[in-house]
Amino acid sequence: MAEKQSDKTPHILLFPYPSQGHMNPIIEFGKRLISKGVKVTLITTIYISNTVISHNNDTTSLEIQAISDGFDEHGYAGASSSDDYLKKFKEVGSKSLGDLIKKLRSEGSSINAIVYDSFITWALDVAIEFGINGGTFFTQACAVNNIYYHVYKGLIPVPSVSSVSVPGLPNFEYWETPSFVHNYGPYYYPSWTEIVFNQFTNIDQARWVFTNTFYKLEEEVIEWMKKMWPMKVVGPTLPSMYLDKLLEDDNDYGINLFKANHNEYLNWLNEKPKGSVVYVAFGSNAKLGREQMEEVACGLNDSDVNYLWVVRGEEKGKLPKEFVELKTEKGLIVSWCKQLDVLAHESVGCFVTHCGFNSTLEAISLGVPVVGMPQWTDQSTNGKCIEDIWGVGVRVKADEKGMVTRANIVSCIKEIMDGERGVVAQKNARKWMELAKEAVSEGGSSDKDMDGFICDLKQ
Ligand code: UDP
């Protein structure tokens, strides 16, 4: 039986899309709200609850409730395709979310708001049905949201074959727009395309529009979006101990969908000289082709630097044989790590990333210069921002077949580790790091937007 809350304590439900990159920002948002006196319930799927959360003690500060996505036994892996998953998630999830609201209410819990991932627009329909205010939470950059909005409005043709111009941003070459806008390549999933463009279908009914970015990072585009929607800019949503250090226990996102052997890579990093290690990771979803894996492996080897490379279990089979269990003085391959611990480690001097938005914000917030190697979705746009707008790194260049050669990887790593561009990127990254800390610290822009949200809840 849920504890009866005081009449004055606002209670919100947080509903992230059930993947690592989407859960992390909303979990941290929740922890900040708890520290400000809000009661928070995190909604996840029965599968994640049973397989991950029940085996993990880190998540105690968030109360968790599980709903069905239609794949209780195997999660996403149980679906025949992403279309199958997303369709069932909506069908079964809507009903299950409604049942949860009824259950919580019958236990005496009032619910002041539901904040849902902008990919799950149907959660707002459920909230409205129950007379609850809804807030959509964009986990991607405002630059990306802005481009999607213009596609949604029919102002950018898809597929885009020429440069794109939207308010608050410089021109983007067509290949710098998100992959759903310009490229029907190997990552083309019709249902994902629909999801990203349709984030705006019911946005005008949302009481709040949250984004995981910070004001100074995307000032112009945020100002433009503010004219249309009640924006709350609340990022970067890294655990507090990596930013303002206000929440003493908050040093990890808390829900890890992948397993890691932390001692192994931390010990390895501890033995390396300051700034000497290239950290390589492509997030929780990207799938590199076999040939591309070989180019990355040989590029790292040829770079003559120390490198720590995350290759998820299901990707390992594509590695050249000699790299599969690599653990040498110079190189270590692991299947997952606590990325924040790694980026914050003094031996790390450069981050080769797929430019997922969490990874991008983490690099910026920890002052680590970047080599961007975008794969799909918003990553090409984040890569453009990394290099040309925020000035924190360089991007690799794919050849006409979409392949990034080992020689190109070597030269990008050298530029950042030894070249003038690395010096500038590091200087810029450190500047953004200070501004990120300022935004989330007491009285900073993100902190104020969070307080504004809490004020709204109390009215
Ligand atoms: N991450 C991690 N360990 C790893 C690789 C990634 O903890 O070995 C985390 C990373 O810190 C980030 C998230 O997983 O918060 C990945 O999100 P991102 O948006 O960068 O990429 P996605 O996985 O959504 O493609």
DSSP string covering 102-128, please? HHHHHTT----EEEEETT-THHHHHHH
Q: Which domains can be identified in the chain, with CATH numbers?
A: 11-254+442-458 (3.40.50.2000), 262-436 (3.40.50.2000)
Amino acid 227: pLDDT? 96
Amino acid 300: pLDDT? 97
Identify the residue whose C-alpha is closest to ligand 1 atom 24: 21
Averaged confidence pLDDT in the chain: 94
Q: How far apart are CA 104 and CA 206, in angstroms?
A: 22
Any residues with Cβ below 6 Å from ligand 1, and which?
Answer: 20-21, 24, 281, 283-286, 310, 336-340, 356-359, 362
Identify the residue whose C-alpha is closest to ligand 1 atom 1: 339
Atom of ligand 1 nearest to the CA of 286: 25
Contacts of 48 (CB under 8 A, 6+ apart): 18, 66, 75, 255, 257
Instruction: Compute, in angstroms, the gap from residue 218 CA to the centroid of ligand 1.
Output: 21
Reported pTM: 0.96
Instruction: Compute, in angstroms, the gap from residue 459 CA to the centroid of ligand 1.
Output: 36
Amino acid 62: pLDDT? 86
CA distances from 345 to 111, 265, 350, 367 (A): 41, 11, 11, 11
Q: Which neighbouring-strand residues pair with 114?
A: 13, 134
Element of type H or E holding 333? strand 331-334
Identify the residue whose C-alpha is closest to ligand 1 atom 15: 358
Amino acid 459: pLDDT? 85
Q: Terminal CA-to-CA distance of the chain, rounded, Å?
A: 27
At how many degrees (to 10) do helices 420-440 and 406-417 cross?
70
Indicate the top mutation candidate among 52, 359, 365 to test ligand 1's pocket, ranked by most ligand atoms within 8 A of CB: 359
Within 13 Å and on the Cβ side, how many CA atoms surround 221?
23
Indicate the top mutation candidate among 358, 364, 380 to test ligand 1's pocket, ranked by most ligand atoms within 8 A of CB: 358
Name the stretches of the chain with pLDDT < 70: 1-7, 54-60, 184
At how many degrees (to 10) do helices 20-35 and 445-458 cross?
70
Instruction: Compute, in angstroms, the gap from residue 163 CA to the centroid of ligand 1.
Output: 29
Q: How far apart are CA 98 and CA 131, in angstroms?
A: 12
Q: Which of 138, 148, 124 is nearest to 25 (CA)?
A: 138
CA distances from 229 to 148, 203, 322, 418 (A): 15, 8, 53, 44
Amino acid 352: pLDDT? 98
Amino acid 7: pLDDT? 60
Specify the residue for token string 């822009």.
Answer: 445
Active-site residue list: 22, 117
Identify the residue whose C-alpha is closest to ligand 1 atom 25: 283
Q: Which of 46, 57, 189, 51 is nearest to 119 (CA)?
A: 189
Indicate the top mutation candidate among 140, 255, 339 to test ligand 1's pocket, ranked by most ligand atoms within 8 A of CB: 339
At how many degrees (to 10) do helices 357-365 and 420-440 cross?
90
Amino acid 2: pLDDT? 40
The answer to whether the bond into 369 is cis (omega within 30° of 0) is: no
Amino acid 56: pLDDT? 61
Under DSSP, the state recorded for 342 is: H
Q: How far apart are CA 354 and CA 124, in angstroms?
A: 31
